[in-house]
Amino acid sequence: MLKTILFIAIGGAIGSVLRFLTTVLVSKFYSNHFPLATFMVNVIGCFLIGILMGFLTKNALDNSNLKYFLVTGFCGGFTTFSAFGIENVTLLQNNNTILAFAYMAVSILLSLFAVWLGLFVAK
């Protein structure tokens, strides 16, 4: 059990740092009301989780430490639906209602598509 927690913690740390660096990089080239970095991280993370789960399941590794490291740890630390939530509330509080609902709809639909695409690519 401790070994599993260690795999999750290390993967989560790597994913969290990569998520932060993505935000730093995107903010250097893009500044607008739309939270592009979080949007990108969520879609990329969903695509990765689809590929990883497809690969791990296909190779009977879906209960392995690799899954805990990559899926639970890395993807869990990398994706940011908690940030997604606060950003949407902030958009709504700032009377950017249309942008908030557009962001929600596009994020959810594109993320679900990315998971499907990741699973398809893994096959």
Q: How far apart are alpha carbons 4 and 120 in whole angstroms?
A: 28
**Is 85 labelled as part of a ligand binding site?**
no
8-15 mean pLDDT: 97
Mean pLDDT of 61-88: 89
79 is in an annotated binding site: yes
Q: Domain limits at 8?
A: 2-122
Distance set, CA 57 to CA 11, 43, 71, 78, 106 (Å):
19, 21, 12, 21, 28
Q: What is the pTM of this model?
A: 0.81
Would you say 41 and 80 are in contact if contact means Cβ atoms under 8 Å apart? yes
Structure tokens at 6: 């260690």
Tokens representing 33 are 């009301």
Listed residue (83, 71, 75) closest to 107, CA to CA: 83
Cα 20 to its chain centre, rounded Å, is: 12
The percentage of the chain sitting over the pLDDT mark of 70, rounded to a whole number, equals 100
Domain count, the chain: 1
User: Residue 123: is its pLDDT beyond 90?
Assistant: no
H-only helix segments in the chain: 2-29, 36-58, 65-67, 76-78, 81-93, 97-122
Return the exposure string of 26-58: e unless at least 16 CB atoms fall within 10 Å of the residue's CB, then b: beeeeeeebbbbbbbbbbbbbbbbbbbbbbbee
Confidence at residue 63, expressed as pLDDT on a 0 to 100 scale: 82
Sign of CA dihedral 14, 57, 40, 109: negative
